[in-house]
Chains A and B, each alone.
Chain A
Amino acid sequence: MLALGIPFVARAQHFPDELNFKLDWQVNAPVGYDYADKLSGWGMNFEVAYEVSERWSLGAFASIHTNHGYAGRETIQLSPTEALTTDQLHSAFQVPFGALASFDLAYTPHLRPYVAGKIGAMYEQNTTYLNTVGFYERPWGLYVSPEIGLNIYPQRYGRFGFHVAVYYSYATNDTRLLNYQEDGKNSVGFRLGICF
């Protein structure tokens, strides 16, 4: 995260005031299904947006996140004549990216709350690990995500500040690995980071 952030921080003073960046650590929890369903903080988020009016910004985003899960030993009927007994480790790695629109709910010297909507594509790599082998699928899907957040500026009307946000996301990615099937992916989470 630091390696990605430094070049942008170092050059931020040369960007126009209307151009803003966010770089966040991310906590994500899949909801509504049981594949790789453990909450985790293995993720980050990057955004760039341009103020097209006093309150509206348009931009782009990309994020990454990994969630894991464990399924205990069970016998799976793979077909009428095939059975498999195993436990499983699940790993879901997701990379959504696309466009965003943001609307500032207020504009104060230190606080700038906002709501945002994101739309784009999501690449996903879902891997099921058994004790000696692994199976994976790499589906693509459509991604949408509403978000509400707050930019906090220690200096009055400063450029550099802190960022917090909560979000919900839905992606149309489909996966079927052994006895687990994912028809779309719902997630909730929050982000903590910097804005400049």
Chain B
Amino acid sequence: MKKVFVFLAGILLFTSCEKDPDMSELDSDFTVYTQYDEAANFASASTYYLPDSILTTGSGMKAVYWKDDNAQSLLAQVASEMALRGYVRTEEKAEADLGLQLTYVESTTQVSGWVGGSGWGWDSWWYPGFWGPYYGMGWSYGFPVSYSYSTGSMVMEMVDLRNTPADTTEQVQLPVIWQAVSSGLLSGNAHLNLTLVGRAIDQAFTQSSYIKKD
């Protein structure tokens, strides 16, 4: 029996000996993931609306609007990227072909199982009705999504505002045609974190060359 025990202990020792890698070898830049709806026509759009704030998600999934100088610098960067691609920013949502919404996740947040629905997720922050009275049917993603956001994630979503119903009482889904998720570990230095988020925004547009006006 003792021999069997020693043998099993040896087997356990064998199977528990994986050497973990040194995670500090990874650079500090955010991971940037983008996807888009292949049916979307980015080239035919000419105007877009960008709110003057970034939504942040703190504890309890409660929406907080981030509007200080740091937020404005990130929004200005997004506006600059859109201008480089030929789009004109409008002051009125009703005049915009596209809409852009930015959400900064401050803590681990997981949202799943609400694709195309009108669940509890983004609805309580960037609620579809923000973009017009027609979008009472929730969100409509042209691609599969699942959400698991960790500390330090910036989410950019582009919505198509062109196919609004003539009847303003009609309720339709708001189509999300582009999504960029950037995530990484945050440092204790706010300036460095802002730099990392800014670089992630730049990378999101760099790898989305299809966002371009004719």
Residues of A at the B interface (CB closer than 8 Å) are 3-4, 7-8, 11, 40, 42, 44, 46, 62, 64, 66, 68, 70, 73, 75, 79-91, 93, 95, 125, 129-133
Contacts and interface: CB of A to CB of B under 8 A. Distances in A.
A30 B22 CA distance: 19
8 contacts: A73-B27, A83-B35, A84-B31, A88-B26, A90-B21, A93-B18, A132-B31, A132-B184
B21 A85 contact: no
Max chain B Cβ within 10 angstroms of own Cβ: one of A79, A89, A90: A89
B163 interface: no
B31 A66 contact: no
Contacts of B14: 4, 44, 46, 62, 64, 95
Contacts, number: 99
B30 interface: yes
A70 to B, nearest CB: 5
Max chain A Cβ within 10 angstroms of own Cβ: one of B9, B11, B17, B30: B17
B68 interface: no
Contacts of B101: none
B207 interface: yes
A90 B13 CA distance: 23
B26 A85 contact: no
A131 B183 contact: yes
A66 B18 contact: yes
A11 B3 CA distance: 10
Given A81-B143, A82-B35, A131-B31, A91 B18 contact: yes
B17 A44 contact: yes
A48 to B, nearest CB: 10
Contacts of B109: none
A175 B47 CA distance: 45
Given A81-B36, A82-B34, A132-B150, A87 B27 contact: yes
A89 B33 contact: no
Given A62-B14, A81-B37, A85-B203, A131 B185 contact: yes
B197 to A, nearest CB: 13
Nearest to B32: A85
B34 A83 contact: yes
Nearest to A67: B19
Contacts of B35: 79, 81-83
A133 B147 CA distance: 13
Given A4-B10, A75-B207, A95-B15, A131 B30 contact: yes
A85 B184 CA distance: 12
Contacts of A86: 31-32
A64 B207 CA distance: 40
Given A129-B23, A132-B184, A64 B17 contact: yes
A63 to B, nearest CB: 8
Contact of A4 (B13, B22, B37, B38): B13
Contacts of B41: none
Contacts of A42: 19
